[in-house]
């Protein structure tokens, strides 16, 4: 009887396709589902089969691993085994980001198929997929510290005309090292192939947070 009276909450988590991002989300999922109160939380952790295969042992009746299949036909150099940053050649990182952007409609269909309807979506890098969030409230959960995120965003938004980060205590070792990092980002970000360039991707996340009133970590 007590179980039937508990309020149920459905949470969808969509971290970037790197285990350094997935693991913090998985830890959050464990904590949310372990809470013993009036709230009964079920988490749907979304990623590609290549990322979920090693996590099979973590699936429970409250943590559901949900596969999102990225389109492969238009990206022949990116087979399903490489739908992850693990062992991904650096030259294919732009292709992986493009595949994720192209998968936005599939992500929307995935949300449509979840029952009960999700109450909230946690994401960290896929602002493009928010266009297919089906009206589910979205919250940005960053796996990086606020300082690191601010520094990264500053470098991306000033890649053409590098400017020093306004807080001198946060640096890679000085203006010269910061400039090298910014130049590296300009080369490696998307190679001109991503549907959403990285600087714009950061801006979309920030705009979504400001426009929705939802916070980030």
Q: What are the catalytic residues? A: 21, 124
- Beta strand 7-14 with 39-47: parallel, antiparallel or unpaired? parallel
C-alpha 17/C-alpha 56 separation (Å) is 16
Structural contact between residues 75 and 58, judged by C-beta atoms closer than 8 angstroms:
no
Nearest 5 degrees, angle CA 53-CA 91-CA 178?
Answer: 105
Give how far the C-alpha of residue 80 lies from the chain's centroid of Cα atoms, to the nearest Å: 18
The token duo for 149 is 């995120």
Tell me the H-state helices in the chain: 2-5, 19-34, 49-52, 93-102, 104-113, 146-157, 175-188, 198-212
Give how far the C-alpha of residue 24 lies from the chain's centroid of Cα atoms, to the nearest Å: 11
- Beta strand 138-140 with 39-47: parallel, antiparallel or unpaired? unpaired
């Amino acid at each position: 009887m007590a179980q039937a009276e508990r309020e149920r909450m459905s949470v969808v988590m969509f971290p970037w396709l790197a285990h350094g991002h997935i693991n913090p989300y998985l830890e959050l999922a464990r904590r949310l589902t372990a809470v013993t109160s009036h709230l009964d939380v079920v988490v749907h952790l979304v990623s590609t089969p290549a990322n979920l295969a090693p996590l099979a042992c973590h699936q429970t009746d409250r943590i559901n691993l949900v596969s999102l299949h990225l389109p492969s036909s238009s990206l022949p150099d990116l087979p399903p085994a490489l739908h992850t940053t693990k062992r991904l050649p650096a030259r294919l990182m732009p292709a992986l980001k493009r595949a994720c952007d192209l998968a936005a409609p599939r992500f929307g269909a995935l949300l449509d198929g979840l029952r009960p309807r999700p109450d909230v979506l946690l994401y960290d890098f896929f602002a493009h997929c928010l266009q297919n969030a089906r009206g589910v409230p979205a919250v940005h959960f960053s796996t990086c510290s606020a300082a690191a995120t601010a520094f990264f965003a500053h470098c991306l938004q000033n890649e053409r005309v590098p400017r020093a980060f306004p807080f001198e205590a946060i640096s890679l070792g000085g203006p010269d090292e910061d400039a090298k990092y910014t130049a590296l980002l300009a080369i490696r970000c998307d190679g001109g192939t991503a549907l959403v360039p990285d600087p714009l991707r950061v801006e979309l996340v920030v705009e979504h947070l400001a426009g929705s009133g939802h916070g980030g970590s």
